[in-house]
Amino acid sequence: MDRYLVFGHPVRHSKSPFIHTLFARQTQQELEYGLAEPTMDEFARTLRDFFDRGGKGCNVTVPFKEQAFALVDRLSPRAKRAGAVNTIKLTDDSVLLGDNTDGAGLVADLKAHGVTLTGSRILLLGAGGAARGALAPLLAEHPAEVVIVNRTHARAEQLAAEFRDLGSVSALTYEQLAGHFDLVINSTSASLQGELPPLAPGLIHADIAIYDMMYGATDTPFIGWAKQHGARQTMDGLGMLVEQAAEAFTVWRGIRPGTKQVLRELKRNLG
């Protein structure tokens, strides 16, 4: 049977085996999907071993996405732009192809929620790996503008400069932010420390769409905060998780699974 797995550390609570098992059942594909939790030093060797022993593909999550980027034989254009790999496929000619489906997953989930990206003014919070992965797929939708804001402003400047060839993207400080935004995407890891990005509440209005890449059984701190200041449409990152997985499954198997039912089941399990 074709074998796939997810590399991460920690990875025990990963939802990827659950998601891909449901995708396989739904599309009648014969495959098994497991977990691998190597240390940073063991990652390269375990990855090689997996493919030497007949593995067909894998997902890569925190903290291995940059190492995977450096280890694969070939990169997809979107992985090159993201500077990170979350999906690896062994091609028919035995090449390890590194891809990145995170940004596509975000855009697919935003669209599934009916959010208009074309012509909109988007505020992206954070300038780490998650923000980097989102930029090219967002700019491909032709927003009016993407503004990046980050606690460490220089990182936002750097990121904006790297993506300027793809569309209108600029960097501002939290203090400089003003005007009307249609969509705010939180890519920061602030909630992991129980913190909030220092966003002025005045930027939130009833018609703004709020997306937090984090998710949980209850509202994330950022979503709770945005609701408190009047946001009516809020979305967490569970949909992005399922959509990036669907994109990876499509890369591996050449067949696109439906996501709605899987998302419903995941939500039921969380709650």
Q: Alpha carbon 149 to chain centroid distance?
A: 18
Instruction: For the segment 158-197, give every residue that binds ligand ATR (CB under 6 A).
Output: 187-190, 193, 195, 197
Q: How far apart are CA 76 and CA 85, in angstroms?
A: 9
Integer-rounded Cα Rg, in Å, for the chain is 18
Q: Does 241 bind ligand ATR (CB under 6 A)?
A: no
Instruction: Out of 103, 126, 143, 239, name the contact with ligand ATR by CB under 6 A.
Output: 126
Q: Does 3 bind ligand ATR (CB under 6 A)?
A: no
Q: Is residue 266 within 8 Å of 15, Cβ to Cβ?
A: yes
Q: Which is nearer to ligand ATR, 58 or 82 (CB)?
A: 82
Q: Is residue 89 flagged as an active site residue?
A: no
User: Catalytic one among 15, 56, 65, 89?
Assistant: 65
Q: Does 61 bind ligand ATR (CB under 6 A)?
A: no
Q: Does 15 bind ligand ATR (CB under 6 A)?
A: no
Q: Does 127 bind ligand ATR (CB under 6 A)?
A: yes
- CB atoms closer than 10 angstroms to residue 201: 10
Least distance in angstroms from the C-beta of 135 to ligand ATR? 12
Q: Does 16 bind ligand ATR (CB under 6 A)?
A: no
Q: Does 17 bind ligand ATR (CB under 6 A)?
A: no
Strand order in the sheet with 169-172: 169-172, 145-149, 121-125, 183-186, 209-212, 233-236
Residue showing the smallest CB distance to ligand ATR in the complex: 128
Least distance in angstroms from the C-beta of 186 to ligand ATR? 9
Residues annotated as catalytic are 65
Residues that bind ligand ATR (CB under 6 A): 126-131, 150-152, 155, 187-190, 193, 195, 197
